[in-house]
Amino acid sequence: MQLRYSFRLHPTAGQRASLAQAFGCARVVYNDGLRAREDARAAGLPFPKTGDLSKLLITEAKKSPERAWLAEVSAVVLQQSLRDLDTAYRNFFDGLAGKRPRMGAPRFKSKRDTRQSVRFTANARWSVTTGGKLRLPKIGDVPVRWSRRLPSAPSSVTVIRDSAGRYFASFVVEAGQVDSPAETTTE
């Protein structure tokens, strides 16, 4: 079973700027992927796969002068943004098929959204330093206010900025199976 543990982050001004850039780049890639899929649907073509979108919207776009700024953030953040889009579509179609509650189609993200987030997986090479800071690629060592210990090594971390401008790190950890309460009988 997977659990989430959230802790408060206290980034410096430079780290806040780097995080804002990561939030923006992830949003742009998500919106570009959504636009590519909507254009394919309108043309009657099959949806482009996530791998094809990654190659087109991340790898090739970084080489163009108008999108060279995508190279300034971790590529894992951009790939996770496309995976989030894929999950949104999967949830939408599962809702139409009756496999889950109905959900609306994925929508474009706005830079004026009150909550922004980026996810770093294990292949992003993020880590918790011996000094208790969170080391994020292309951002640096961000101080964390630890309130408890993590039960195991985290598999991913999501950095979140809420509407009040506070930053949080949400770690996904693998926890042991939770035992259900003992059966009680009434006589």
Q: Please give the average per-residue pLDDT across 172-184, as a whole number.
A: 69
Report pLDDT digits (tens) over 6-19: 999 999 999 999 99
Give domain limits for the chain. Answer: 2-174
pLDDT, one tens digit per residue, over 133-150 is 999 999 999 999 999 999
Alpha-carbon distance 7 to 146, whole Å? 6
Q: Is the pLDDT of residue 184 over 70?
A: no
Tokens of 127: 């880590």
* Core vs surface per residue 4-35: b (16+ CB within 10 A) or e: ebebebebeeebbebbebbbbbbbbbbbbbbe
How far is the C-alpha of 170 from the C-alpha of 119, rounded, in Å? Answer: 9
Taking the model in full, what pTM does it have? 0.88
Q: How confident is the model at residue 116 (pLDDT cuts 50, 70, 90)?
A: very high
Question: What pLDDT is stored for residue 180 in this prediction?
Answer: 56
Which of 180, 174, 160, 139 lies closest to 7 in space, CA to CA? 160
The pLDDT of residue 157: 96
